[in-house]
Amino acid sequence: MFNDDEGERDAWFRALYAETFTVLFRIARRICYSDEAAEDLVHDSYIKAVERWRIFPTLNDAKYWLIRVVKNGALNYVKRKGREQKVYQRYFRETEERSPSPEDDTLRNHDAEALKAALASLPDKFRSVLVLKEYAGLNYKEIGRVLGISEGNVKVRVFRAREALSALLREGTGDVS
């Protein structure tokens, strides 16, 4: 069933997995404080290792390479989440700073209508990722599965969709912020 190369790779991977999973998971979880994100990062690192399995002279070499990959991936995850958090905080701070007045309901309804119109004017590929991300609450991996595209492609589309939506809303209100 297996040729010698596949059997050797499988044995190598099993040994590597047994030796490194706990350490890699702890590192990722400690950096990003999320079991789900840590699991994804470790899984992705194993995929990269299996693709390059022949370049490692020993399991220790692979182990230390994996630790660097997971550490860097976790740090990038934290940076990305920090940037997203700043955007949300800025949005909520701006909305909280508005003083409540009788006109607020009218403005809120107008804003909702402007948002619906701007969202409707986005291209399908942008509108679909935004709806799945913001309204359905799916993560990037789930959106990728639904749309049949890579997780990286989903991230790019979400970013571009948010930028386009922001530009449309600024144009519609005359806001230049």
User: Which pTM does this prediction carry?
Assistant: 0.48
**Is pLDDT of 78 > 80?**
yes
With cut-offs at 50, 70 and 90, classify the pLDDT of residue 173.
low
**Does residue 21 or residue 6 have the better pLDDT?**
21
Q: What is the pLDDT of residue 25?
A: 94
**Is pLDDT of 152 > 50?**
yes
Least confident of 65-79, 90-104, 110-124: 90-104
Q: What is the pLDDT of residue 109?
A: 61
Average pLDDT of the chain, as a whole number: 82
Q: What is the pLDDT of residue 119?
A: 80
**Is pLDDT of 6 > 90?**
no
Q: Please state the domain extents for the chain.
A: 4-78, 103-173
CA atoms within 13 A on the CB side of 149: 15
CA distances to 81, 82, 111, 137, 151 from 89, rounded to whole Å, are: 12, 10, 19, 18, 25
Class of domain 4-78: mainly alpha
In the chain, the amino acid numbered 113 is E
In 3D, which of 170, 174, 175 has the Cα closest to residue 118?
A: 170
Q: Which CATH code fits 103-173?
A: 1.10.10.10
The three-state DSSP-derived secondary structure of the chain is CCCHHHHHHHHHHHHHHHHHHHHHHHHHHHHHCCHHHHHHHHHHHHHHHHHCHHHCCCHHHHHHHHHHHHHHHHHHHHHHHHHHHHHHHHHHHHHHHCCCCCCHHHHHHHHHHHHHHHHHHCCHHHHHHHHHHHHCCCCHHHHHHHHCCCHHHHHHHHHHHHHHHHHHHHHHHCCCC
Contact 16, 60 (CB under 8 A): no
Least confident of 109-118, 133-142, 153-162: 109-118
**Is pLDDT of 7 > 50?**
yes
Average pLDDT over residues 44-54: 89
CA distance 138 to 140: 7
In the chain, the amino acid numbered 90 is R
With cut-offs at 50, 70 and 90, classify the pLDDT of residue 175.
very low
